[in-house]
Structure 1
């Protein structure tokens, strides 16, 4: 598992990682209390290669995966956020169009919703 994947597994509030880390040095440290305590967004841009359209497509796919992971949080978007959320979904729903304008604040919007839901700061990990 890549380093950022291990960090994501450790902090991710949607996971139960006790067994994964039980025989490691961190299990006996003061940091173990932080395990599975935060919403985590892990974005890997390793596949963002090629021309602009291919890069935008890869970025959209990564962001879409983050939205899928936390779909349960986004089910009850308030009335005032609905139009903005719909623009983001439309932008993510068509990865082939090469237009990133509709998703320019998609990650920050997701972070805001996660903070509202969990009442905790979000950890965002970006690889490559």
Structure 2
């Protein structure tokens, strides 16, 4: 049991270190980024970036086994929580999952989203 608990603590620490590295490096590159606080079941993502034009970007940072569908679903759900808590419309806030690549620089991490999200396509337009 202690081995599992120790592994879980190590993994949590690695995830937290990755979140901090990503935030610090994006800040150093000139981005207006801040860490978001955990809010339990209504988590709002790991970071928010204020982009030019006032557009917000929620980042869900991942340092885990690559599960793109799961990561994108989580990022979009957390974007919805962020928007709802602030009285914003979800479609006015962007969201991505940024996944660390083993042995690669933070600049070479994967950025995941959907075609619909990336191009601002409405699901209603499909019908």
- TM-score, normalization: structure 1? 0.30
Between Structure 1 and Structure 2, which shows a larger proportion of helix residues?
1
Between Structure 1 and Structure 2, which shows a larger proportion of strand residues?
2
